[in-house]
Structure 1
Amino acid sequence: MPVPLDGDELRDVYGRFPTGVVGVCAEVDGAPVGLAVSTFVPVSLDPPLVSICVRAGSATWPLLRLVPRLGISVLGAHHEGVARALAGPAEQRFRDVVTEVREGGAVVVGDAPLALTVTVVDDVVAGDHLIVVCRVNEVLVDDGHSPLVVHRSALRPLAAV
């Protein structure tokens, strides 16, 4: 018989699945705004769609939702500090973070293994999160860096075997 799980227990259960870490960023009123997200999913090849999940109570998401384009940067093993900064207090998120502004105000993190510029197509309420579907406008690839993953609440480089 299944045992009901509370939020902390579910966080531990879900955390056993390793996932990448992405920065979702844009310029808002001339300044970079962004957050760290650990749910990024390629959705469709035709049309090119991806999705992210954002906490419904995020104070940052309503600012990002209104811009024409977002930057989604898959963070590299060397970006642990960037991941922590983007998950930290809003006023300190871009301290010592190298970024580039792309068309439409999308902001991408420098030296990311993969960065996309996207346009939000839709967002759907799913429990305490929003599933955000985005159309891919531009792809930037840097094969010189391996990705960063989060597993059991710890940031780790992806190790080759």
Structure 2
Amino acid sequence: MSMADQIDGDLYRKVLGRYPTGVTLVTGCPDGEPAAIVIGSFVSVSMDPPLVGFLVGEDSSTWPRIESTGSFCVNVLSDQQDGLSNAFFRRDGDPWEETGWEPAPSGSPLIPACLASIDCSIHEVVDAGDHVFVMGLIEHLSHVGEGSPLVFLGGRYGSFTEFG
């Protein structure tokens, strides 16, 4: 048995919960219907070629629908959009009723009130344990809004505070 096999799941979540992440809404429009996943693992991968990535659970029912379109849009949420994040995370009712959207160049939903959007074609999807790592080739960037990003730390939302 390796050391990795001995890692306690509760301790794993507690320790890694001390690392703050941004909150994004990854969207697509399979069959003309908007779909979205709340993602906290968004990361810049490469400038040349311009790649970004994120992790999504292999048991996601939404990701295969978005993946089928060949593209996605990453919407960077502001610290005023925790309610929107919760609406998509809870999945009770229709969260699209709480926000307007317009099509990004790929057709994926772009949330106009977000801080930024990154429209991508799917570059590669790699198995990563109980998740998949999705890499997207950036096709279009938008700096949509001003403000502070939504941050997730220790199971709670917050915002970024600048020193000095």
User: Structure 2: how far apart are the matches of 1:2 and 1:44?
Assistant: 29
Does residue 156 of the first structure (1) align with residue 158 of the second (2)? yes
> Offset of 1:104 from its aligned partner?
2.4
Identity in percent: 29
Matches within 5 A, 1:62-141: 62-89=64-91, 92-141=94-143
Aligned residues: 161
Runs of 4+ more than 4 Å apart: none
Name which of 36, 56, 59 aligns with 2:58.
56
> Offset of 1:109 from its aligned partner?
1.6
Q: Which is further off, 22-31 or 54-63?
A: 22-31
2:34–2:108: 8 Å Cα contact kept in structure 1?
Answer: no
CA, structure 1 residues 67+10, in 2 after alignment: closer, same or farther (shift >3 Å)?
same
1:147–1:158: 8 Å Cα contact kept in structure 2?
Answer: yes
- TM-score, structure 1 normalization: 0.92
User: Structure 2: how far apart are the matches of 1:125 and 1:60?
Assistant: 17
> Offset of 1:151 from its aligned partner?
0.3
CA, structure 1 residues 2+28, in 2 after alignment: closer, same or farther (shift >3 Å)?
closer
Listed one character per residue, the Cα deviations across residues 102-140 of structure 1 (whole Å, up to 9, x for unaligned) are: 222211222211111001111111111110011001111
Supply the AA of the counterpart residue of 2:144. Answer: D
> Offset of 1:142 from its aligned partner?
3.3
> Offset of 1:3 from its aligned partner?
10
Supply the AA of the counterpart residue of 1:30. Answer: G
User: Structure 1: how far apart are the matches of 2:62 and 2:118?
Assistant: 19
CA, structure 1 residues 10+129, in 2 after alignment: closer, same or farther (shift >3 Å)?
same
User: Structure 1: how far apart are the matches of 2:149 and 2:125?
Assistant: 26
Residue equivalent to 1:35: 37
- TM-score, structure 2 normalization: 0.90
In structure 2, stretches of 5+ residues that fail to align are none
CA, structure 1 residues 109+143, in 2 after alignment: closer, same or farther (shift >3 Å)?
closer
2:117–2:142: 8 Å Cα contact kept in structure 1?
Answer: yes
CA RMSD of aligned residues (A): 1.9
Supply the AA of the counterpart residue of 1:31. Answer: E
User: Structure 2: how far apart are the matches of 1:65 and 1:35?
Assistant: 12
| Partner SS, residue 34 of structure 2 | strand
Supply the AA of the counterpart residue of 2:108. Answer: A
Supply the AA of the counterpart residue of 2:18. Answer: R
Listed one character per residue, the Cα deviations across residues 60-79 of structure 1 (whole Å, up to 9, x for unaligned) are: 01000011321101111111
